[in-house]
């Protein structure tokens, strides 16, 4: 397998999350706040990475640890989850974890709403 295909590290900013893939653990992390000026442009590398992932058929765990996201970011994440559903449909294992800060019910509910209706293994829980 070509490791360069699996490489992903999008640096965070004041308005965007850190998105990176831990290859050794087959885990993709999306951490921080997400309210970029142009959500489509920011998330485009993630979609490209996910398209390349399909050929690997390796298991994937995606961990979200977001403190805030706006409407356009929510739309991008829904589109990404659709890609993951398609990846799973071709026989790859995908699991999702949505971490939220204790007491921040709005972020707990955001995770529950995003995961609603998915066939993937999904967990919503407080930060470890």
Q: What percent of the chain has pLDDT over 90?
A: 84
pLDDT tens digit sequence for 12-25:
999 999 999 999 99
pLDDT > 70 fraction of the chain, expressed in percent and rounded: 96
User: pLDDT, tens digit, for every residue of 79-113?
Assistant: 999 999 999 998 899 999 999 999 999 999 999 99
CATH code of domain 3-126:
3.30.750
For residue 128, pLDDT beyond 80: no
Place of tokens 């999702």: 96
Q: How far is CA 34 from CA 16, 17, 30, 59, 73, in A?
A: 5, 6, 9, 26, 6
Res 22: pLDDT: 94
Question: What are the sequence ranges of the domains in the chain?
Answer: 3-126
């Amino acid at each position: 397998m070509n490791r360069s295909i699996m490489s992903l590290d999008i640096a965070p900013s004041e308005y965007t999350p850190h998105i990176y893939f831990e290859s050794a653990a087959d885990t993709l992390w999306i951490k921080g706040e997400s309210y970029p000026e142009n959500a489509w442009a920011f998330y485009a590398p993630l979609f490209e990475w996910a398209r390349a992932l399909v050929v690997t058929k390796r298991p994937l765990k995606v961990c979200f640890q977001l403190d805030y996201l706006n409407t356009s970011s929510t739309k991008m994440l829904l589109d990404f989850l659709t890609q993951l559903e398609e990846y799973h449909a071709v026989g790859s294992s995908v699991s999702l974890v949505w971490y939220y800060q204790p007491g921040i019910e709005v972020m707990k509910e955001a995770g529950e709403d995003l995961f609603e209706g998915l066939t993937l293994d999904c967990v919503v829980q407080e930060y470890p």
